[in-house]
Amino acid sequence: MKIGTRRVLTFSLASLCCGMAIADTEQQPITELQQQETSDNVSLDSLHVYGEPDETKSATKLNLTVFETPQIVSVISNDQIQDFALRDVNTLLKYAPGVTVEQVETGRTYYTARGFDIVNFQYDGIGLPFSFGLTQGHDDTAMYEKVEVIKGASGLITGLANPSATINFVRKRPTDEFQASAKASYGSWNTRRVDADISGPINDRVRGRLVVAKEKGDSYLDRYTTDRDVFYGIVSADLTDKTELTFAHSVNDTYSKGNSSGALPLFYSDGSLTNYDVSTNTAPDWAYQDIKQTRSFIELEQELGQNWSVKGIYTQNKQEKQWDSFYLSGSPDAFTEEGLTAHASHYDAQDKEKIFDLYLSGQFELAGREHDLVVGINKADIKLTGRSIYSSEWNYAPVGSNWAAGYTPRPAFDVYDAATQSTNIDQDQDSAYFSTRLRATDRLSFLLGARTVKIEQDGFSYGAPQKVSDSETVPYAGVTYEIIDGTMLYGSYSEVFKAQTWVGADLSPLGSVKGESKEIGIKQEFNDGRAVLTIARFESRQENFGEWIDRDTASGLNIYRGVDMESKGYEIELSGEVIERLNLSMGYTHLDIEDENGDKTRTFIPTNQFKVAASYHVPQVVGLNVGGGVRWQNEIYVGDVEVQGSYTLVDMFAQYQLNKNVSLALNLYNVGNEKYLESPQWGQAIYGASRSALGSVTWTY
């Protein structure tokens, strides 16, 4: 039994065979026809895939292709990850159409789509929203086969999210045939990295896979260095011909030194914009961040007869966080650089998640047609603990003009009150869900579903109570109509809601935020289904969304107010092998975001952005693959002030298959050496990375 066999793994094996075939040019001449075909008559270049033409369960848990899903689904394939050397999640998502990566400091990042924060990250379709709406540290991509971004509300698959997007990380699985690879890379700022990936059968019924990676290096930022270790192991066993059991465990451990808390001031005291060197860092060298993320899961899948199966997944996630920080605030004098104040603290925390998901899926016959059905339950237990220890020496004390030199000595952290400087939150979530695809005709299908979620939360955070009790049933409805072969019209509607940990001016929880998303569009297949073009119009709405207004200096709590917001716009995406040998992942997004008064809001998010990644196998040179990427966005603001004009970033790469086992690659990033700011979401910002290069050599078997 081979439940859940993935076509993308078949691609990997075929690519390995093709690489060996190419290398045999040393022994015998290769005709033009032989260059194009493997022994099974599959085009060599068709095995190099951007996007994903095959099924995805991320939007509904139904076996729908991207073409059949009534929402935009963007996929960053393993080929694109390798071509552009997208080694961490932040870098990868910068290439996802319609997604903005709001890196507010070196180790803390928010993500947005369609104007709202992306809070729901899943792993193989299972996960929970981020408790505080952000990621910390740097999640490595070595263990992922592909990453799916499902735009719009995702109430059906989680019930708890924003009408922005859900990001699903599809982890690598064991392969039926033995394969192995190793890669060594060296790049700008003394960045070194090694990767290894070995997979295959252990015996007739057991398969395994092991992925390890190590990366260490400096940065374009002064004093900032990172050291990351990655481990991922997975074993799948066929207990019977109809029963598969899978165990997996992963560790992503990142230590960074010179880690900034907050970012550079954007304004001088006279109101003019600052303009620092790209390398300027507010952090001294003693500031650090240590984030260790472990994830383990056990999965049991049982076939129940023709076209039916039941799957149970138990997942345990733990994130351990610790750092010393030095936070600067204020607006300095334009000539002396004096006028900033500093706040220092030590922070440690632990987030734990236990998730159980059980669902039945299959097909049933009604009115002479086969239809799809998924029914399931999900239970989750979340515990969040943390504490901050402050410094009486640097508690918003003024700093001198040489703050950028990083000379500030490490203070003693000597101020701590457990009642007002710690977090202890316990949350239970119970949900039940169903989804179905009803085929009215050969071309017309209706997708229906609902999810009921109940939340019970208790505890406190920095002196503020965190007691929440809420429940909601969120519906999902979609329709697809293939008017002619390869042309699909679709529409979808979904709702979501999410409990918020934010507090208002009275230090009480804001309560749940509710939202909805509507989308209509058309999808067109090209090149025999190898590429899909999507044009979509969307409207999304949030009620009681937590908008930051101030910081309570006594408790250190951020204070929010609940606002209603609406976003609308359109997206155009094209991905896949558009013509022979040319793969594209391309998208344009236009967005308008307004508050309840009709005024523009969240102006730190670009309202127009364009992204394209391309790969081309050069027919005149067997084994040569070249490509590049372009990312453009329009201006962004803090309030009504433009702090960053529109800019374009260009990346390039070239790969060459040296022989049947060895390939060489060179990647160039920000070729034009564009100077630009990362996210100004909190009224501060760091600069993005300057021009850099990365060379690598890969061995495969």
And the tokens for 129?
A: 């929203």
Distances in whole angstroms, Cα of residue 672 to Cα of each of 612, 649, 651, 691: 16, 7, 9, 7
Q: What is the pLDDT of residue 503?
A: 76
Please report, as a single letter, which amino acid is at residue 118. Answer: I
For the chain, how far is it from start to end, CA to CA, in angstroms?
A: 26
Query: Which residues contact residue 2 at a Cβ distance below 8 angstroms, ignoring those fewer than 6 apart?
Result: 176, 238, 244
Half-sphere CA count of 411, side-chain side, radius 13 A: 20
Q: What is the DSSP string of 166-221?
A: EEEEEE----SS-EEEEEEEEEGGGEEEEEEEEEEESSSSEEEEEEEEEEEE--SS
Q: Which of 176, 185, 258, 186 is nearest to 223 (CA)?
A: 258
Q: What is the pLDDT of residue 434?
A: 93
Would you tell me how many other CB atoms lie within 10 Å of the CB of residue 156?
29
Torsion of CA 502, 128, 166, 627, to 10 degrees: 110
Angle at 317 between CA 315 and CA 322, to 5 degrees: 175
Please report, as a single letter, which amino acid is at residue 701. Answer: Y
And the tokens for 61?
A: 């848990």
Per-block mean pLDDT, blocks of 10 residues, the chain (701 long): 36 31 35 36 49 61 88 95 97 97 95 92 84 82 96 69 88 97 98 98 97 98 98 98 98 97 96 97 97 98 93 96 96 96 96 96 95 95 96 93 94 94 93 94 95 91 85 91 98 83 75 86 96 96 82 70 92 96 97 94 97 97 97 96 98 97 98 98 95 98 94
For 357-421, what is the HEC assignment?
EEEEEEEEEECCEEEEEEEEEEEEEEEEEEEEEEEEEEEEEECCCCHHHCCCCCCCCCECCCCCC
Q: What is the pLDDT of residue 553?
A: 64
Q: What is the pLDDT of residue 13?
A: 28
Q: What is the pLDDT of residue 14?
A: 30
Q: What is the pLDDT of residue 548?
A: 74
